[in-house]
Each structure stands twice: as structure tokens, then as C-alpha cells.
Amino acid sequence: MQRILLISLSCVMSVFFFSSAFADGPLSVDIHGPGQKMVNIILLPPKGIGGSPLPEALARSFENIVKENLGYIPFLHVVPMAELLGGDPSTGVQGREIDYKPMQLARIDLCLTTGWNGNYLEARIFDTFSGRRLVGKAYNDMSEQTLPPAADRFSSAFLEALTGKKGFFDSPIAFVKQEGKTKEIFTILPQGRALKRITRLGGFNLSPAWSQNGEQIVFTHIGKSRHELGVYDGKTKKIRMISKGLGQTVISPVFGPQNRLLVALNRNGATNIYELDSKFNPKRILAESPYIDVSPSFDRTGNLMAFTSGRAGNPHIYLLTVKTGKIRRVTISGKYNTHPCLSPDGRYIAYTHRTANGHRIFLHDLETGREQQLTFGPGNDEYPAFGPDGYFIAFASSRIGEYQLYLTTRHGDKPKKISTGPEPAFAPAWDTSMQ
């Protein structure tokens, strides 16, 4: 049964009231089901607090970043101030200093106020029907360096207040970036900021995956003579390379239950999925067949593992229940289904499905068995990765000629490109530790 989230701004919890037509009842924002009603928000002009002068550059920068962030939320529409008759309806930044009637008449549901006292910032969002505050945050020592993270945290707090989910705006994505003949691991925020290089190893560095606490990134390193397992420590900024006892093939490593490492290894003529012990030695096999078993992906509990297997003659998606060891086939149609990613709540599997027009991202509902095509090209769409909220999905696409990263939602909303630079980018993996 699809879960419907109701937003109550008047109670600062779960239900909006549609300000221009009160009799219509509560406005619902269904981020899990197919229906998403648009919510209108306006950013009121920033003001100095207590008569203090407004730091124009900082105020403009904060507003621009928040506006850009809100543009990633499909059910939010930012109303320009020019569309509000009568101009600015506020004399200050607190609720009692706002005239909500013009915004009610303009069918605007929410308004944002920002107040400045030097480098000190207060940001609030109000429900225009009840006048109640939905979000209120204060930030000290704002500067060109500290302002973007503060704007991201504020945007994340706002999205959490709307949906009960957090982490989108400040949860980085690890991905592979091609540089000449090499491929290296980078991270970036989904808004296309804070690009950070993780590896400088040369060769091919592939299949990044985050630890459950977001402190490590594991990946495959393909050198001149063999595969190695790479483990990046975010605290020390050091990379450990492991190859002893793993064989010549190390594919699609991932962190599983209790933050244990799993990886696809070829140790006996077949590629199967192994769990490693604390010393990185193969401990047990979770998925085994005479064919290829790769690309494990876990839900947040660690009890469900989706993976790709050739045991039916072609690559298809399978689901393992870890506690019982039971495996069932998920995909039936087509002859090429790969790169599964389980949603954190374990309900959905996003995967790559080859169609007559190229590779596309599909979504399988494990509760209902229904499937939905999320992307439509052109080019190829591959490597889906759920965000920490289970709502946004990152993927790689060649729709502009070379692979770049894009964002959509589990509803298949219009993809939005993540700016990672001119070089090809693919294999995104989202840090889901925020939830």
C-alpha cells in the first residue's frame, strides 16, 4: 500500500492548507505514490535585523543557493517576487511582520524570510494560511566559504519538515570520472557543488560504494596486472589497497550488514558474491552459482540483497533474503537487466534494462510486482543509485554524447543534470548514511 505523506504547516507537521481555497481541504504531497501536488513558495526580500545594514553580496548568495536547491524538488514552485501584486508584503522577518493576505490571494503556500545582522543570519519559512513557522534556523559567521553549507543545511531542514526525509542537499555522491586514459573516483553534492577528488591511482578505479556510516568508500582498482580492492578512509584521507587472497577478479564491492564488506570474486572458475572478514579474507559466499553473480545492493536493514546473475542464461536481477538464504528472481522480461539498487526502505529496486532503443532505468516494486520505466534517453541510461530519502535517484546517461550524471525521482520526473565538468562521469553511488 502506497504511503501518502500529508504536510501540516499549521501544526508544523504534516498537512498544508491550500491558501486560496480553504474549502478544498488539506494539500497532500505524496512523495512515494504517483500524485504530487505543486506547492508554491516565495522568497521575500532579505532585510537587516534591527535596522542593521544588509550585507548585499552574502544575502544575494544565500538566496540564490536556496532558490537553486529548491529547484531540485519537483513538487515545489518558486514564485518570483515580480508576480506578487503590491510588492513586498513584509516589514521584517518574523511572522507578525508579514501580511499574508496578498500571498493567499496569489495562491502562494509558503514564504521564506531572511534577516541579517552583519555576518549573522536568521532564516524562516512560514505557512501563509496560518502564519505558523515551519522552519527557523540561525547561522553565525557567514562568509563566502561557510554560506553554501549553511544554505544546504537549511534546505535539507526544510525538505525534512515537508516530507519527514532528510539528507538530499548535503549527502554526497561518489562516482567515476574519466581523465584521459584513466578513471578515478570523485565525490560531489547532488547540486553539482563541492567536487572532491578521492583517488590518484591511475588505471581504472570503478564501482565506488559508501560504508553505512559514510566514513569510507570502497572501490575496485584495475591495474596493469590484476584487480585490487581499494578502501578510502574519509577521516585519514588514506587509501588501503588489498589483493592478497582475493584472486585476480575483484568486482562491485559494497558494504553490507553490520558494515561488512562484500565483493564479487572469481576464485573457482565462477564469479560469486563473498562476504569478507575484518582482515579482508573471504569468509562465506552469499550468492553462488556456476555463472556470474555480481553487483550486490542492500537495503538499510541489511536483510535484503539485490544482485545480478546469469544463472538464467542472461543477466537478470535477483533478490536474496539474508536471514533465510532464499533467492528469488525479480526481473522476467528482457534479456539484459543489470546494476540493481535497492531503496533504503527495501521496497523498490531500480535497475538498468536494455530496450530496443538503448539502456533505460526501470523501477520494480517488490510489494506489488509492478514495473515502471523511469528514463527514456536518448542514448543510454545506466547505473541507478537511490538517495538517502529513497525518493531521488542518480544515474548516468549518454544522452548528450558522453556519459554524465543526472537526477530523477522514483516517479520518473524530468532528469536534471549534475555538473561534474567536461569529462565523462558514470557509476554514481549515494551516501545514504544521513537517514
Q: Are residues 361 and 398 in the same domain?
A: yes
DSSP string covering 208-247, please?
A: EEE-TTSSEEEEEEE-SS-EEEEEEETTTTEEEEE-TTT-
Q: Are residues 202 and 301 in the same domain?
A: yes
How many CB atoms lie under 10 A from the CB of residue 331? 22
Q: Are residues 60 and 154 in the same domain?
A: yes
Last residue of a domain, one of 110, 137, 163: 163
Q: Are residues 209 and 134 in the same domain?
A: no
Q: Per 3-state DSSP, what percentage of the chain is helix, strand, and coil (rounded to 5)?
A: 10, 45, 45
Considering its fold, how many domains does the chain have in total?
A: 2
Last residue of a domain, one of 115, 130, 163: 163
Q: Are residues 366 and 398 in the same domain?
A: yes
Max distance between CA atoms of the chain, in angstroms, equals 75
Beta bridge partners of 414: none
Burial group, residue 410, by CB count within 10 angstroms (0-12, 13-18, 19+): buried
Q: Are residues 209 and 158 in the same domain?
A: no
Last residue of a domain, one of 163, 193, 219: 163
The vertex-149 CA angle with 395 and 394, nearest 5°, equals: 5
Q: Are residues 143 and 243 in the same domain?
A: no
Kindly report whether the global pTM for this prediction surpasses the value 0.85. Answer: yes
Residue 281 belongs to a domain: yes
Residue 3 belongs to a domain: no
Q: In which residue are the cell numbers 545480478 written?
A: 308
**34, 155 in Cβ contact below 8 A?**
no
Q: Are residues 143 and 239 in the same domain?
A: no
Q: Are residues 156 and 218 in the same domain?
A: no
H helices of 322-381, where?
none
CATH code (residue 338): 2.120.10.30
Residue 435 belongs to a domain: no
Q: Cell triple for residue 187?
A: 565525490
CATH code (residue 51): 3.40.50.10070
How many CB atoms lie under 10 A from the CB of residue 60? 12
What are the two backbone dihedrals, phi and then psi, of residue 102, each rounded to the nearest 5 degrees?
-60, -35
Q: Are residues 182 and 156 in the same domain?
A: no
pLDDT tens, residue order, the chain (435 aa): 333 333 333 333 333 333 333 334 333 355 555 556 789 999 999 999 988 999 999 999 999 999 999 999 999 999 999 999 999 999 999 999 999 999 999 999 999 999 999 999 999 999 999 999 999 999 999 999 999 999 999 999 998 888 887 778 989 999 999 999 999 999 999 999 999 999 999 999 999 999 999 999 999 999 888 899 999 999 999 999 999 989 889 999 999 988 999 999 998 888 999 999 999 999 999 998 898 999 999 999 999 999 999 999 999 999 999 999 999 999 999 999 999 999 999 999 999 999 999 999 999 999 999 999 999 999 999 999 999 989 999 999 999 999 999 999 999 999 999 999 989 999 999 999 865
CA dihedral (134, 137, 143, 148) positive or negative? negative
Q: First CA to last CA across the chain, in angstroms?
A: 22
Where in the sequence is the domain holding 154, given as residue range(s)? 16-163
